[in-house]
Amino acid sequence: MKKSLKERLAILSDAAKYDASCASSGTTKRDSSASGGLGSTEGSGICHAYAPDGRCISLLKILLTNFCIYDCAYCINRSSSNVERARFTPEEVIWLTLEFYRRNYIEGLFLSSGIIRSSDHTMEEMVRIARELRTIHNFRGYIHLKSIPEASGRLIEEAGLYADRLSINIELPTDAGIGRFAPEKQPDNIRRSMGNLRLKIEEMAEPTLQTKRRRKFAPAGQSTQMIVGADGADDATILGTSARLYGSYGLKRVYYSAFSPIPDSSKTLPLIKPPLMREHRLYQADWLYRFYGFDIGEITSGQSDGMLDLDLDPKLAWALGHRDRFPVDINRAEKETLLRVPGFGTKTVKGILSSRRFRRLRLDDLKRLGVSLRKVQPFVVCEGWTPHRLVDRSDLRAMFQPKPEQLSLL
């Protein structure tokens, strides 16, 4: 019997939650349904993303279908998996998007898909959805399309005319991992598609000679997703791959998706470390690389096994390994040095630089800027405060380490 639209929506929004390319996917799991509170981060169907102007927006996050002719070992939707399958028609996706938008549930659409019939056929259907939303229904909301790298360049280019953001999954951190767990995918094709997309985004961003205007093409840029923990690559390898992707393809974002073993699977892959904390630390390290002036080598050299410290955030772990660089005088230090102080974000540093033009700053000023004094005190000098030898204490690491918790037996 054919499944109803509602049943298919339940299946295809649930299947899409494994896609990490939205802001809420990287957060911790919370669900209030048992406690009687409000809200949950575990539900599927609606996710959040940041629009080019920095606003956080809600998106209908679904797959066009979870049927797939490929058999990537890490994917719940692979052809050999026994999950319940469903498929929308393009008209149904268009109708759902418009109805949800009119009811103010969403401000846009995040659309991904398993591969049906062929890469081009699937991509054609996805492009058609975006095209008809824009040209027939005059839909002005945000659209993020997950592109299929093996699809023809013509289709990916057309997608950029209608989508705000395009993403092409790099899948795994190494070519060897892709060869082993997703043998139908070619790393060279993935990189070629990313490179072509970058060229097109840059070309269209140039003002034309006739109109002097920039043409609209994927204005929110391109992003990618990497599965973490499926292939044994260490954090140094993962972050090194991300750095190359940022540099070579102008990506706006690399999303890290912790691999979870798939139940009832003959191909279950080994889990390397507690996956969600690892995913969280990778996002923090990625942030240090992009916005705080750290090299990947500096972030990952603290441990001999190439992994990030799961107990401490990567900046704090780096500071504890480089105590000779502290304490930092917040009234004199350069911006680059302030950015390396644990507990200082980019906004804090901006606030320090502008406030100290008028007076010498004290710990109270840091508190007003939202800084956790417990975290920064060993690392800074300011008016009325010096940590003396606090930064050299042998038990400093223990002071920051999370308290051991009794694990649940259930």
Question: By the criterion CB under 6 A, which residues form the site for ligand SF4?
Answer: 68, 70, 72, 75, 77-78, 114-115, 182
- Whose Cβ is closer to ligand SF4: residue 72's or residue 285's? 72
The residue count for the chain: 410
Query: How many Å apart are CA 313 and CA 14, to the nearest integer?
Result: 31
Least separation in angstroms between CB 290 and ligand SF4: 26
Please state the closest distance from residue 115 (CB atom) to ligand SF4, in A: 5
Using the minimum distance from each CB to ligand SF4, give the nearer residue, 171 or 279: 171
Instruction: Name beta bridge partners: 142.
Output: 108
Toward ligand SF4, which CB reaches closer, 13 or 77? 77
What's the min distance (Å) between Cβ of 189 and ligand SF4? 12
What is d(CA 286, CA 255) in angstroms, rounded to the nearest whole number? 10
> Smallest gap, in angstroms, from Cβ of residue 146 to ligand SF4?
9
**Cα separation, 226 vs 262, whole angstroms:** 17
Tell me whether residue 96 or residue 178 sits nearer to ligand SF4 (CB atom): 178
3-state class (DSSP) for residue 392: helix
How many angstroms separate the CA atoms of 63 and 83, rounded? 14
Residue 78 beta carbon to ligand SF4: minimum distance, rounded to whole angstroms: 4
Phi, psi of 389 (to 5 degrees): -100, 15
Whether the CB-CB separation of 66 and 86 falls below 8 Å is answered with: yes
Q: Which CB, 149 or 343, lies closer to ligand SF4? A: 149
Q: In the bound complex, what is the minimum distance in angstroms from residue 122's beta carbon to ligand SF4?
A: 9
Which residue, 223 or 300, has its beta carbon nearer to ligand SF4? 223
DSSP for 214-253 reads: PPPS-TT-EEEEEEESSS---HHHHHHHHHHHHHHH--SE
Q: Where are the beta strands (DSSP E) in 96-207?
A: 108-112, 142-146, 165-167
Of 67 and 100, CB closest to ligand SF4:
67
Cα distance between residue 118 and residue 70, in whole Å: 10
Q: Which residue in the block uniquely carries the two structure tokens 């190439």?
A: 306
- Please give the structure tokens belonging to residue 345: 């974000």
Minimum gap (Å) between residue 85 Cβ and ligand SF4:
12
